[in-house]
């Protein structure tokens, strides 16, 4: 279990996360939603020890995260972040080699990957539809393929928690649903999402953030309401409930028709 207690994170004089409390259980999918700049990614980074806290603490199974060895954290928490890594740094590496990095926390120093490690890699690549690209160099992948390779690496870790920052970035509609269906079946996952309709479908619980503060928390049915969302996003929201599925509709913002400048004749200009 991951627990955030009164977590506050400042960047200079700007407060990115303001006194957040939340619990990530060992089962189910928790979604972090909110507009740009609301603190979603910063809070996610705090949950795996990548962000320095100004106040508060994060506990991993009851122990302060700052006191847990990085290797032990990696055995318990897998991360798919937006930060640059081997998938985008230009380092020569195949998809299978990237995925195999997920086994490092489980191996002793200097040991080589065994048959069981290779089976786990194969299963994880198959789960994200990347088996046919296992020997492809990362530099030859599309953005969506790199994203799926990173998710495969996280699956290979076989951690009790998987934390993902916008895992649907660069993915087409089919793979957005495939990946989130996979995430929904993982134990104790946390996912940052911009698409509220995807969050409604695949998350068990949601935390709505605005200006670094928790505005609402609960099931999608409880928090994805116009009363909660309209003040946060600054847009009117229509909610449709059809056969138990929530669909949110956001109208197009009204456009102001620009005033066409008056065309003057030569005589009018000269006068």
pLDDT of 111 reads 65
Calculate mean pLDDT across residues 63-79: 94
pLDDT > 80? residue 109: no
Q: Give the count of alpha carbons within 13 A of 42, CB side only.
A: 25
* Interatomic CA distance for residues 237 and 91, integer angstroms: 45
pLDDT > 80? residue 88: no
* Interatomic CA distance for residues 196 and 229, integer angstroms: 10
pLDDT band at 92 (very low <50, low <70, confident <90, very high): confident
Calculate mean pLDDT across residues 135-157: 91
DSSP 139: G
| Cβ burial, residue 57 (10 Å; 0-12/13-18/19+) | middle
pLDDT of 83 reads 57
Going from N- to C-terminal start, the domains of the chain cover 2-235
pLDDT of 86 reads 47
pLDDT band at 257 (very low <50, low <70, confident <90, very high): low
pLDDT of 243 reads 86
* Interatomic CA distance for residues 201 and 89, integer angstroms: 33
pLDDT of 189 reads 95
Average pLDDT over the chain, rounded to whole?
89
Thinking of the domain 2-235, which architecture would CATH place it in? Answer: 3-Layer(aba) Sandwich (3.40)
pLDDT > 90? residue 87: no
Calculate mean pLDDT across residues 68-75: 93
| Cβ burial, residue 70 (10 Å; 0-12/13-18/19+) | exposed
pLDDT of 114 reads 83
pLDDT > 80? residue 258: no
pLDDT band at 110 (very low <50, low <70, confident <90, very high): low
pLDDT band at 94 (very low <50, low <70, confident <90, very high): very high
Total H helices, total E strands in the chain: 10, 12
Q: Coil, helix or strand for 31? A: strand
Q: Which of 50, 63, 56 is nearest to 214 (CA)?
A: 56
pLDDT, greater one: 119 or 244: 119
* Interatomic CA distance for residues 209 and 39, integer angstroms: 7
pLDDT band at 260 (very low <50, low <70, confident <90, very high): low
pLDDT of 271 reads 44
With tokens 């690496």, the residue in question is 153
pLDDT of 75 reads 92
If one counts every other C-beta atom within 10 angstroms of the C-beta of residue 181, the result is 11
Contact indicator for 147, 170 with CB cutoff of 8 Å: yes
- pTM attached to this predicted model: 0.86
Q: Which of 31, 35, 54 is nearest to 44 (CA)?
A: 31
pLDDT of 85 reads 56
pLDDT > 70? residue 211: yes
- The lowest-confidence range among 3-7, 75-79, 142-146, 211-215 is 142-146
Q: Which of 4, 65, 2 is nearest to 212 (CA)?
A: 4
Calculate mean pLDDT across residues 80-84: 75
Residues 111-145, buried b or exposed e (16+ Cβ, 10 A)? Answer: eeeeeebeebbbebbebbbbeebbeeebeebeebb
């Amino acid at each position: 279990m991951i627990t955030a207690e009164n977590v506050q994170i400042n960047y200079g004089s700007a407060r990115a996360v303001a006194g957040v409390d939340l619990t990530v259980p060992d089962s189910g999918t928790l979604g972090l939603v909110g507009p740009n700049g609301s603190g979603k990614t910063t809070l996610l980074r705090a949950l795996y020890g990548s962000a320095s806290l100004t106040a508060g603490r994060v506990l991993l199974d009851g122990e302060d995260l700052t006191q847990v060895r990085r290797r032990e954290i990696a055995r318990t928490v897998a991360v798919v972040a937006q930060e640059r890594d081997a998938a985008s740094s230009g380092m020569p590496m195949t998809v299978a080699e990237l995925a195999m990095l997920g086994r490092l926390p489980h191996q002793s120093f200097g040991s080589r990957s065994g048959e069981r490690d290779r089976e786990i890699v194969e299963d994880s690549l198959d789960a994200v539809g990347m088996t046919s690209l296992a020997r492809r160099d990362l530099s030859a992948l599309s953005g969506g393929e790199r994203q799926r390779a990173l998710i495969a690496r996280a699956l290979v870790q076989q951690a009790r928690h998987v934390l993902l920052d916008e895992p649907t970035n660069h993915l087409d509609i089919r793979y957005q649903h495939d990946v989130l269906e996979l995430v929904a079946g993982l134990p104790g996952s946390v996912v940052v999402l911009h698409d509220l309709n995807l969050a409604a479908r695949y998350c068990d619980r949601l935390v709505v953030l605005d200006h670094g503060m928790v505005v609402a928390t609960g099931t999608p049915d409880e928090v994805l309401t116009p009363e909660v969302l309209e003040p946060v996003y600054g847009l009117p929201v229509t909610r449709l409930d059809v056969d138990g599925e929530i669909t949110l509709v956001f109208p197009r913002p009204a456009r102001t028709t620009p005033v066409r400048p008056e065309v003057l004749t030569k005589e009018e200009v000269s006068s």
